Amino acid sequence: MPVVGVLTAGGDCPGLNAAIRAVVVRVVAERDGRVVGILNGWEGLMEGTVRPLGRDDVRGILARGGTILGTSRKDPYLHGEGLASVLPTLEAEGIDRLVVIGGDGSLRTAARLADEGVSVVGIPKTIDNDIAGTDYSFGFDTAIQVVSDAIDRLTTTAEAHHRIIVLEVMGRTTGWIAVYGGIAGGAEAILVPEEPYDLADLAGRLRRRHEAGHTYSIVVVAEGVPDPSGAETLAGVDAYGFARLGGVATVIGPALERLTGYETRVTILGHLQRGGTPTAFDRVLATRMGLAAAEACLAGASGVMVGVRGSTLTTTDLWEGCAEPRLVPADLLAQARWFFA
Ligand code: F6P
């Protein structure tokens, strides 16, 4: 009888509950299939904190943000003894296969466990959309909708006051959120880690735009962009010792004000991008990936992650799927540039 453990690890994102629901619906449809929900990511597997998940436990959660299982960035290899720290729970609960819903870090941990003999299937999730093994991860669509809405709002106040507004968005080392959100919101400039920028040149372009009568501008900045001196801007470290990015807009905003002479304000969108109800697209993607991962795991697959290429569901070797962050391609950046100041 298949006993599937499911966990959500790393930063949360909209769509996690939709994916959990799909895993449960598919597994319990199997003869004697059972799902064990593991609480707070890998931490629950290390500490034995679990709860059974049946069909009734996942009713009404499709549209809810966050994760009913909780999450954390605790990692069995970094904060424990690796395989030895998760085996007792796997054995005690009779879990014979795992579905790991995580970003690149959690998927790498899943790959290590698979190499050590644990049966694991991964599901990519992150608002950053930077996982190599999939064209889209759920959470991303919701995040860019939030960014697009924010730009709509910032535009009217920027226009009223004839200001520049610098909007910082998440994305870690990639600019997917900045580029998609910026295109959707009609930003005058988008700065991403994938491409160097010249602040004096940007200031010149904004000045010419303002002199031509468009006396406001929205500049979207990805959190992973280096400051003008080339340094990464860190907001500290989290409870597990991981570096937190954030705050580069507070350097870029005042610098642009000095260079242009236009009053400038800074907005850091932060966790608004991660909270709340998933868009329809993210609900469907999470549901499809959850079903596909459950199928793969019931069929005995291990060491793989599900993903999507175009609109087709795929499975990819876990190591390959989370090898390098997937960067924004040059052709997409070139398209975004047509609309810059
Ligand atoms: O990876 C998702 C993400 O939201 C990044 O875009 C961001 O840098 C990070 O997580 C924020 O993490 P935390 O919730 O620990 O502040």
Residue 170: CB within 6 Å of ligand 1? yes
Q: Taking the complete model, does pTM exceed 0.85, yes or no?
A: yes
Say what the pLDDT of residue 341 is. Answer: 82
10-residue mean pLDDT profile of the chain (341 residues): values are 96 98 98 97 98 98 98 97 98 98 97 98 98 98 98 98 98 98 98 97 97 96 96 90 94 98 98 98 98 98 98 97 96 95 82
Please choose from 16, 128, 242, 248 the residue to mutate so as to test ligand 1's pocket, defined by most ligand atoms within 8 A of CB.
128
Q: How far apart are CA 167 and CA 273, in angstroms?
A: 12
Which residues lie below 8 Å from residue 63, measured CB to CB, with a gap of 6+? 18, 277, 278, 283
- Tell me, what's the pLDDT at 1? 80
**Ligand 1 contacts CB of residue 131 (under 6 A):** no
Closest CA to 124 of 333, 331, 329, 323: 323
Which residue's CA is minimally distant from atom 12 of ligand 1?
Answer: 11
Smallest Cα–Cα separation from 288: which of 54, 125, 132, 143? 125
Domains of the chain: 3-138+278-321 (3.40.50.450), 144-275 (3.40.50.460)
| Ligand 1, atom 13, residue with closest C-alpha | 11
Atom of ligand 1 nearest to the CA of 170: 6
Distance (Å, whole) CA 144 – CA 182: 8
Q: Which residues are catalytic?
A: 128
CA angle 152–158–163, rounded 5-degree value:
150
Alpha-carbon distances of 127 from 138, 239, 307, rounded to whole Å: 7, 21, 15
